[in-house]
Chain A
Amino acid sequence: MMDTATLETRELNCSFGSNPVITDVNFKLRPGERRALIGPNGAGKTTFVNLLTGRLRASSGNVLLNGEDITQLGEVRRIRLGIGRTFQITSLFPKMTVRENVFLAVAECEGIAGKLFRSVFRYRQQFERVDELVHRVGLSDVARVPAQLLPYGRQRLLEIAIALALRPKILLLDEPAAGIPTAESHVILDIIATLPKEIAVLLIDHDMDLVFRFAQQISVLVQGSILVDGAPQDIAADPRVREVYLGDSKHGLPAVA
C-alpha cells in the first residue's frame, strides 16, 4: 500500500433537489500538501468535504484517489483508503471516556473491533497507541473523563485524535478551530506540525489568521465554484477574493504585505 495519496475531483457537481450546491469543481490535493479551503458562509465547503469523504454522492463528475475513480465508493471504503476527517459540528461518543473514544477508532483501524470475547484490556499495544494519540493532542490529564464533560475546545482536540487514530494519508479538517478561543487556535497548528510530512492536510476554516499561518496553497470556494486557487500572498492580494470578503469584518483578510 502506498503511504501517500493524491485526492482529486473532476467536474464535480452536487445539487440538493434543483439547487446546485457544488458546480464543476476541479480540485487537487497532493501528498504532503498543506492546503486551506476558504469561502463565505454557504459557499458549499462542508458539502464539498462530504463529497470527498463519501458521505454525500456527487450528482455528476468524479472523485479520484491516486488517479483511481472512487466516486462510487461509500464512506467506510474511503476511510480504509486513508481519507480521514473531522467534523464541523463536534461528533463524539459523549458518555465514553477520552481513551474509550480513541480506542474505538484505533480498534476499527487495526481490524480488531469485531473481536467478540477477548477483553479490551488485553490489547495493550492498541492502548499504547491510544495513549500516544491522547498525549499528542494534549488530553492526557483528562484521559479517563467522559467526552461530554470536556470543555468544547478540548472536544475539538479529541475529534482530531480520533481522526489521526485512523492513520489517514489525507486529513480533512472541517473548521477544527471553531469554538476554540482564537488565542489557543495555534494548538491545532502545533498538532498538525507533529504529523508526518507526507500526509496531505486540507483545512477549512473561517479564522483567516489560522488559515494564512497554515496554508501553502489556498482554494477559494464561492457559491459552489472554485473562484481562485493559489499561494496565500496571491489570494490575499486578489481583488475578487477581497470583494467576496469585503464588509465581512470578522473574516478580515490580512493586509497585503
Chain B
Amino acid sequence: MKTVSASPIVHATMPSGIIRLLKLLPWLVVAALPLALPGYEPLATQVFVMILFALSLDLLVGYAGIVTLGHAGLFGMGGYTAGILSVHGITDPIVTALYGMIVAAVTGLVFGAAMLRTKGLTLLMLTMASASLLYELANKATGLTGGEDGLQGVSFTPVLGLFPFDFRGKTAFFYSLATLFLVFTLVRALINSPFGWSLRGIRENDARMAAIGCPIMQRRIIAYVISSALAGLAGALQAQTTQFVALYSLSFELSGNILIMLILGGSGRLYGAFVGVPAFMFAQDLLAKQDPANWFLGQGIILIAMVMLAPGGILGIAERAVNAIKTRRGA
C-alpha cells in the first residue's frame, strides 16, 4: 500500500544505536551552527522559539483537530509572566520559565474548559476572542505590563547560575536549542502514546470516539492545557532571550502568523514546525526586501497557493514526491 513507510526496513538492517545517533545528527549540526555562521545566533534563537511555539500549536491543530486563532494569548501569558517576575526580582531563567508555563497552563484550562464545548467556526471565534481579551487587559494594565511601550527592564540571571546571557546571543542560542530539543522529545512521546492516538481518533471522528467510551471533552482539555503550557514556555523563552516583552506577543497577528507557519510546513507531521517556521521567516525577509510596504500581499498569495495546491504543506509536497519516486521504481 501507498502509506507503508520505509523506516521498518531501515530498522531491520541497522543497529538501533546507530539509528539513534542518526536522529540526533540534525540537532548536532544545528548546535555547530555558531561555528559556521557567527553572528546569526540571535536570528537562530528567534527561529527556535517560534518552532517551539509552532510545535505546541501542532499538538492542537495537527493532532487534536482544534484549530485556534488565539494561541498567541498563551504565548504572551508565558512571556509576560517571566518578564514581570524578572522586573520584580525573580530572575532565574528556569524558575521564571516554569512560572510562565504554569500561568499559561492555568489560562488554557480556564479558557479551554469554557471554549472546547464548541467546535469549528464557533470555537475559532472564541479562541480569537479569548486572545483579544488578554491583549486588551495587557494593553490597559500599563503599570504591570508597560502597555503599548512594552515591558522594559527585563533581565535574567545566568542559566543554571553558570551561563550569563551574553551580547552575542550564544547562551540564548544554546539555551533555546536545548529547550526546543526537550520539548520536541516530549511532544514526540505524547503523539506516540495512547493519549496521542486517541487525539487523532477524536480529530478523525469524534462521534465514533464517544461511542467507544472516550471522554472527549476531558482529552481535548488535557491536550489544550499541555499545548498552552508549551506555548507559555515559548513565550517565556522569547522574553528571556530578547529581554523584552511586547504587546505583539499577545496579538492576533502573531496567532495568525504562527498558524500560517505551521500550515506552510505541514500540520500533524511533527516536523512541520521545523520546516514551516524557517520557510516563513525566509519568505518574509525576501518579500520585505522586494517591497517593504506590501509584503503582506506576497504572504497572502503564498498562503492561498499552499492551501489550494498543497494542503499538506511543504512536508506534504515532499511526501508526495517520495511516494511518486517509489511507485515509479516499483513499476
Contact = CB atoms under 8 A, between A and B. Distances in A.
Interface stretch (B100-108, B174-182, B208-216, B323-331): B208-216
Interface string A149-172: 100000000000010011000000
Contact of B197 (A53, A92, A104, A145): A104
Given A94-B205, A117-B189, A79 B198 contact: no
Contacts of A100: 197, 200
Contact of A95 (B196, B204, B218): B204
Interface string A205-219: 000000000000000
Interface string B266-288: 00000000000000000000000
Interface of B (DSSP majority class): helix
A244 B266 CA distance: 56
B207 interface: yes
A108 B212 contact: yes
B195 A166 contact: no
Contact of B213 (A79, A91, A103, A123): A79
A250 interface: no
A108 B219 CA distance: 12
Contact of B194 (A91, A94, A123): A123
Nearest to A93: B204
Contacts of A105: 212
Contact of B208 (A80, A93, A107, A145): A93
Contacts of A91: 205, 207-208, 211
B193 interface: yes
A107 B194 contact: yes
B190 A166 contact: no
B195 A108 contact: no
B192 interface: yes
B197 A120 contact: yes
A149 B205 CA distance: 16
A113 B204 contact: no
Interface string A104-120: 11011100111111111
A104 B195 contact: no
B162 interface: no
B6 interface: no
A144 interface: yes
A257 B207 CA distance: 44
Contacts of B204: 93-96
Interface string B164-196: 000000000000000000000010011011111
Nearest to A97: B3
User: Which of A91, A103, A107, A121 is packed against the most chain B CB atoms within 10 Å?
Assistant: A107
B201 interface: yes
B193 A118 contact: yes
Contacts of A95: 204
B210 A104 contact: no
A91 B200 CA distance: 15
Given A76-B215, A120-B197, 9 more contacts: A87-B208, A91-B208, A100-B200, A105-B212, A114-B195, A117-B190, A118-B194, A146-B3, A166-B213
6 contacts: A85-B211, A93-B204, A108-B212, A114-B219, A115-B195, A123-B194
Closest 4 A-B residue pairs measured CB to CB?
A79-B213, A93-B204, A91-B208, A105-B212
